[in-house]
Amino acid sequence: MSASAFTDKLRRRERALGYWVVLDSPVSTERIARLGYDYVCIDAQHGLIEYAGILRGLTAIDAGGDSVGLVRVGANEPFHIGQALDAGAAGVIVPLVNTAGDAARAVAAATYPPSGVRSYGPMRSGLRIGPKPAEANAAVSVLAMIETPEGLENVEAICAVPGLTGVYVGPSDLCLAVGGAFPGDPAVQDVFEAALERVRTAAKAANVAAGIHTPHGSVAAQRLGEGFTFATVSSDLVHLEQAAAEHLRVAQ
């Protein structure tokens, strides 16, 4: 799938499934990118990956051939967003978006003038997406994370920002944002589910995609069934540990 095809898929609010990578391990990332996920996202915020690792990961995803590469950038800054896109990402997930102004800044950082402020130097992305600014602007996805009390309060205004492809729920932080003592706190389950419904409703009203991170495939299926447009499954590090632990349990 090309970057433009993936972004168009999200703009049509069609379902998509993705996977999360936190390890700088191009060989395993390439293998994951051959499985049939619509996207594989490299986590440059909390993952164990620096810029060279982002570049290796995106190259590995493209070599896998079945998925597009996204990057969760470290911050809502033109440098981080532009660098991820120049490395060949089909889109960016931008953390800690609290207001419509924050979302507008993310869109501007991901698009070239006159509509945005992205500096021209496409490097590797010129090979994958194309060197023409207008084509690149149309091809890349910009996804704003909803994960703070302020972001949730402003989610309707955030979703309405022109050029935004969608929003993405970080469930651990959102659980804390609604009063949870820890991610997944059952004491706030009802208010957390209400927050998810508010995000879905806001995205649908604005005709943008709504995505969410999930711990495993069954929860991803559940969230898609509830009306989320796209869902990401767990991460490579989590699955590596889980698989090793299960084999140890069975063998003992």
Q: How far apart are CA 235 and CA 170, in angstroms?
A: 14
Task: Count the neighbouring beta carbons within 10 Å of the beta carbon of residue 198.
Answer: 15
Q: How far apart are CA 86 and CA 73, in angstroms?
A: 13
Question: What is residue 21's three-state secondary structure?
Answer: strand
Q: Which of 250, 157, 171, 134 is nearest to 205 (CA)?
A: 157
Active site members:
46
Tally of helices (H runs) and strands (E runs) in the chain:
13, 8
Q: How far apart are CA 202 and CA 13, in angstroms?
A: 13
Element (H, E) at 142: strand 141-146
Beta-bridge partners for 232:
18, 213
